[in-house]
Chains A and B, each alone.
Chain A
Amino acid sequence: AQKVTQAQTEISVVEKEDVTLDCVYETRDTTYYLFWYKQPPSGELVFLIRRNSFDEQNEISGRYSWNFQKSTSSFNFTITASQVVDSAVYFCALSGPSLYTGANSKLTFGKGITLSVRP
């Protein structure tokens, strides 16, 4: 069975601090994809990044960076110099196979981390 654990439930930081959101996953599949989504107070989930299981290179996009380590089954997300607009719930998700198509179309989500950035 697939599982995604986001052990941190709520994090509060002051603006300009760096913050890391942890994600640990479990899967028996050799090919899988990991995702991060952001859910601002407006409610719509916004896709941030996708990483496949064969690509362990870290990725940086502006103030955001992601660290994928297959050896520890982790896919952590760091926000550098946080801003108030980063306040949101962040979800990590893992792709899983469809019983009918075999394709990795479904996602298993973690429970989310609520990040509050104070001015």
Chain B
Amino acid sequence: DVKVTQSSRYLVKRTGEKVFLECVQDMDHENMFWYRQDPGLGLRLIYFSYDVKMKEKGDIPEGYSVSREKKERFSLILESASTNQTSMYLCASSFGVDSNQPQHFGDGTRLSIL
């Protein structure tokens, strides 16, 4: 079974802090994704990566950056956290560059910015 592990289930940070959300997958997947989920808005793609050190902006990249130094790990960085970044963050991974395999999701990190 594919396992996508997010480092924290719940996280509380303060405005202005630099925040790191970590995600690890164990299936050697090429693609990794970061979404945020907000009530009434569904899932919105922040960034995704299709290879090590490669990244592509999603629909809402402002205020975020990402890092993928190793294939299994994809980090989301909030450079200077703000209260409007309080949300549920979901990491996902999928196999192949051109295969349309389903994305597999982690349990999510519920982040609160105070």
Interface residues of A (CB under 8 A from B): 6, 9, 33, 35, 37, 42-47, 50, 52, 91, 95, 98-112
Q: Tell whether B94 is near chain A: CB-to-CB under 8 Å.
A: yes
Q: Which of A37, A43, A50, A109 contacts B108 (CB 8 A)?
A: A43
Chain B proximity of A79: nearest CB distance (Å): 19
- Chain A hits for B58, CB < 8 A: 106
Additional A-B contact list (11), CB under 8 Å, known A42-B107, A91-B43, A105-B98? A35-B102, A45-B105, A98-B50, A98-B56, A103-B50, A103-B97, A107-B45, A109-B43, A109-B44, A111-B41, A111-B42
User: How many residue pairs, one in A and one in B, have C-beta atoms under 8 Å apart?
Assistant: 68
Chain A proximity of B48: nearest CB distance (Å): 6
Residues B82-108 near A (CB distance < 8 A)? 88, 90, 92, 94, 97-100, 102-108
Q: Which of A42, A50, A100 contacts B54 (CB 8 A)?
A: A100
Main secondary structure of the interface of A (DSSP, over half): loop
Interface residues of B (CB under 8 A from A): 31, 33, 35, 40-45, 48, 50, 54, 56, 58, 88, 90, 92, 94, 97-100, 102-108
Known contacts A104-B100, A105-B50: does B56 contact A99 (CB below 8 Å)? yes
Q: Is the CB of A47 within 8 A of B102?
A: yes
Q: Is the CB of A106 within 8 A of B54?
A: no
Q: Which of B31, B41, B42, B88 contacts A105 (CB 8 A)?
A: B31
CA distance A29 to B40 in the complex (A): 27
- Chain B hits for A95, CB < 8 A: 100
CA distance A45 to B56 in the complex (A): 22
Q: Is the CB of B107 within 8 A of A43?
A: yes
Q: Is the CB of B48 within 8 A of A105?
A: yes
